[in-house]
Chains A and B, each alone.
Chain A
Amino acid sequence: MSHIIVVDDALTDRTLISGLLTDELECHVETADNGESALEFIDARRPDIVLTDLQMPDMDGLELLESIKEEYPMIPVVLMTGRGSEKIAAIAMKAGATSYVAKQRMAEDLVSTVKRIIAATQEVMIPPQLMHRLEYSNCQFTLNNDPGQIGSVVAHLQSMLRCLPLGDESERIRVGLALEAALSNALFHGNMDTSQESPQPNEARRQELFRKRWNRKPWCDRRISLTAEISRELAKFVIRDDGNGFDTSALDPDFMSLDTERGRGLPLMYTIMDSVEFNDAGNEVTLIRHRVIEGPVTD
């Protein structure tokens, strides 16, 4: 059973978030109403995940994140962002938050986000020690339009990322989340054309479109190509879909605002990876993440 700490100064939101989690996940949830209490909880209980609000009195969410990254770097931190907190949320993502959920989309995104992170922290497919011995890998996948395949390939590559010095364990999970976001974009926005809808579909509508299209032409013939190059210096992922692409000139390259209306995929990629480049057609993205420590690699 996973142990989750929810940090929010608002009793109403602590009640809502705890209820959504315990309703759908096998987990034990504890709550704290400020950052300092949260740190005491974390020190005593060592939770699997911390979910934190950003705007709180005394120690705010960004300060809490920095303390957790300093003292407990293995613990993933998920931000819960209200309207008006987008800029500080982007700063917190750059500072090492594992992911974020917009408060106005809690019911849609919270449980799936936490599930993905729990799965990423519990993967045991390959002995982790072996992956610390990996020097270089270059592999290519051609994926069907199957969300399950995305989860499997991300788990596999995330395991290989153990050879790349990223600073701490939660960084490896963050890179995995960015890769998963890119592959999900390729599947839903690219191959399934959900971005062509106007207005932009919500998650329920996106899933409905997927169920209608996944086995129909032209969508069923489309594939996702993934090339992954992982070494002790960098991880480079090239993801290409067979969809119609999108207008990349409209992108905000700094992504200083986490625009929740357009989905979380692009902000996750931009705030976690060192480099995000699209081709002109908008159907291929190259993600690069470099090692973070200087000097020779030690075992």
Chain B
Amino acid sequence: MSFQVDWNAALANVSDNRELLQLVIDAFLTESAQIRDQISIAITNQDTKQLQRTGHTLKGIMHSVGASSWSHPARQLEELGAAGTTDGAQELADELNRHLPALLEQLRTFSVEQSN
């Protein structure tokens, strides 16, 4: 599976303001690591409310940076949490952790190019 950031969608989200997109991407790069940790903690603690909320947040911010096509596991984590279970959550978290580095790399590349 190989996804690409939808840069048209990402730029549309910021009204074509590339400087703002860079700020949004930098925020995502900072925040996504924290959210991955929160998902991991939610699974360990079987905290379905936190799982639902963090899945929802990750899905939303992926949309903000044009990465909706990557957000399927996040949406499924949100749905599991909403259904009151963490069964299957670890597999989804593993799937996220496998694919997220490629997304972060694409976003970092944009951020570096924009800085230059």
User: Which residues of A approach B to under 8 Å, CB–CB?
Assistant: 9-16, 19-20, 23-24, 55-57, 82-85, 103-104, 106-107
Contact = CB atoms under 8 A, between A and B. Distances in A.
Given A16-B14, A107-B12, A10 B31 contact: yes
B114 to A, nearest CB: 14
Interface string B13-27: 111010010011011
A13 B61 contact: yes
A15 B23 contact: yes
Interface string B33-70: 00000000000000000100100110111011100000
B23 A10 contact: no
A55 B53 contact: yes
Given A23-B17, A85-B56, 19 more contacts: A10-B60, A11-B30, A12-B28, A12-B65, A13-B60, A14-B27, A15-B20, A15-B23, A15-B24, A16-B13, A16-B20, A19-B23, A19-B24, A55-B53, A82-B56, A83-B60, A84-B59, A84-B82, A107-B12
The 7 closest A-B pairs by CB, nearest first: A12-B61, A19-B20, A15-B27, A12-B27, A82-B60, A11-B27, A12-B28
Contact of A10 (B20, B61, B78): B61
A20 B27 contact: no
B56 A84 contact: yes
B20 A55 contact: no
Contact of B59 (A9, A14, A20, A82): A82
Contacts of A106: 13
Interface residues of B, number: 25
Interface-centre pick from B17, B24, B82 (highest chain A CB count, 10 A): B24
B24 A9 contact: no
A55 B50 CA distance: 10
A19 B17 contact: yes
Contacts of B20: 15-16, 19-20, 23
B64 A12 contact: yes
Contacts of A56: 53
A11 B25 CA distance: 10
B63 A104 contact: yes
A33 to B, nearest CB: 11
Contact of A84 (B17, B24, B26, B78): B78
A227 B78 CA distance: 46
Interface-centre pick from A12, A56, A107 (highest chain B CB count, 10 A): A12
B17 A9 contact: no
B24 A16 contact: yes
29 contacts: A9-B57, A11-B27, A11-B31, A12-B27, A12-B65, A14-B27, A15-B23, A15-B24, A15-B26, A15-B27, A16-B13, A16-B64, A19-B23, A19-B24, A20-B15, A23-B15, A23-B20, A24-B15, A55-B56, A57-B50, A57-B53, A82-B59, A82-B60, A83-B59, A84-B59, A84-B78, A103-B60, A103-B64, A107-B15
Nearest to A15: B27
Given A20-B14, A106-B13, A107-B14, A12 B31 contact: yes
A83 B57 CA distance: 10
B39 to A, nearest CB: 14
Contacts of A10: 31, 57, 60-61
A246 B48 CA distance: 42
Interface-centre pick from B59, B63, B78 (highest chain A CB count, 10 A): B63
Contacts of A14: 27
A31 to B, nearest CB: 11
Nearest to B19: A19
A123 B56 CA distance: 38
